[in-house]
Structure 1
């Protein structure tokens, strides 16, 4: 695989140099050569910015050098025309004329690139932030998860208690399970429970081995929280490594990108539960293979341009059931 990647990299570099020699324009200028800033141009400009080593220092100034994004990213305070001028000063060949709309297209691409980076870096920050029992925001988010999914159920024994296994954690301390994905997994579980409370409560019951309709035990049980943590790892990979969502979400504000990522997580969780219970018979021995196959199938759909939506309950939530919070409330439950 490494030699293939090396060959692709070298071939792409050669192709760029050849195109530059033939047209007298950089890759970014060629990407902006159209008259209309459409979806195709958006992706080409984004790719040109991402792959330009020369522009890397300048682009880093737009998002900050620290891993943690600013608490209130103020895109409006940035003079995008001035930044576009700086970019074109590095990428434009003065011997060739510059299209009048190119500067505007570059400015649009820079704004969208920054919003995308802010969303990606927020996810990276969450995955690298371990659950901290002494952090009040982390503790409140965990308690919120319990109260949403098991309303009216008392939990005895403090924070460390075997009662957490009712939500599908492995032992008495959920912090142990969150080690792989940090507070990102916790925030996604809370988002799912807040935005789809009725669905999440039913899944917890049925995943725990109880048939909601008949109130009897079933063979379809699985650890709810652990599945959620694995799904968080999956959606983070799709965003940060597989880059499955750029063609769908590029151009959105970073808060909207995060909300849509959480919605993909929530819908995938619901669809997985439906698929698991639709089979004639299931055992935990089959679970890993079925889970991997299901996630691979959903990823293929996403790559093909289909973002699936899980069914939602039709009736409004009753009093005591949480309603969906705003995107910022959902995804910024405590920052770590």
Structure 2
């Protein structure tokens, strides 16, 4: 994600309330600006760094896997553009599914901070994740509404005084998965990425589903580590390690077989 900096936004806990065709198989919360760099800046340390001279293996793909990877890469390449009506409507839909009882006053509004965006204009937070990060959030909200609401409203576990901002964390998760799975390469150059493409060839929504699992897994790690907002990178590192371990288990033929899938509730 863009690492040129910016202001970090943390959510202070006040209470336990809001507190392409398928051809391949409220209570109150206070949002405040802190002095640390925003979540996206630190994400580079979550993903392994390498020298340009480092040799990396390449894995051959089946025609079906190549097609599915290309479709996913096309999604990844689309930036969020606030001037495009489709993108505007997707953002409005996200608000509706997140807060069905509260009318959105505009695409630029202080209300967006309730969802964990850094400011009143969410479009500024999509620069690292692109439009696919919004699609990921929408998929999560529509397919696992109970888990989505639990994380949005921080309803589970013994929470820190300073919590991670939900929406910005979601963009970070999209970016982390793209790096972890090496999805911008012509061919996967790590075993985790090659393994994921097998799932993608069977289910074109595999990336969106893995996103949901990762978000829930990250929150579980957050609670287990009794983390506060300064611990976000450490939580993301632990999440990535666990997710990679699950993906490389033997005899796993679909994402639904991974242990993290059992964390999701519809």
Q: Does 1:283 align with 2:228?
A: yes
Preserved CA contact (<8 Å) 2:195 2:248: no
Shift of 1:243: 5.1
SS at match of 1:285: helix
* TM-score between both structures, scaled by the size of structure 1: 0.53
Higher percent of residues as strand: 2
**Corresponding residue of 2:194:** 246
Shift of 1:127: 2.3
1:264 to 207, 210, 231: 210
SS at match of 2:81: coil
Task: Render the CA deviation track for 1:94-146: whole Å, top value 9, x for unaligned.
Answer: xxxxxxxxxxxxxxxxxxx3322222222222222121222222111111111
Structure 1: which 5+ residue stretches go unaligned?
13-45, 51-112, 318-336
Q: Distance in 2 between matches of 1:259 and 1:220?
A: 33
Preserved CA contact (<8 Å) 1:131 1:138: yes
* TM-score between both structures, scaled by the size of structure 2: 0.66
Alignment of 1:113-262 (within 5 A): 113-156=62-105, 158-206=106-154, 211=155, 218-219=160-161, 221-237=163-179, 238=181, 240=183, 241=188, 242=190, 244-247=192-195, 249-250=197-198, 253=201, 256-262=202-208
Label 1:251 to 1:288 Cα distance change in 2 as closer, same or farther (>3 A): closer
Structure 2: which 5+ residue stretches go unaligned?
1-50, 253-257
Alignment of 1:24-173 (within 5 A): 47=60, 113-156=62-105, 158-173=106-121
Task: Render the CA deviation track for 1:256-280: whole Å, top value 9, x for unaligned.
Answer: 443122111101111211221234x
Preserved CA contact (<8 Å) 2:160 2:228: no
Preserved CA contact (<8 Å) 1:178 1:185: yes
**Corresponding residue of 2:263:** 311
1:273 to 192, 197, 219: 219
Shift of 1:199: 1.1
Structure label with greater radius of gyration: 1
**Corresponding residue of 1:65:** none
Q: Distance in 2 between matches of 1:205 and 1:189?
A: 15
Preserved CA contact (<8 Å) 1:116 1:257: no
Shift of 1:285: 1.1
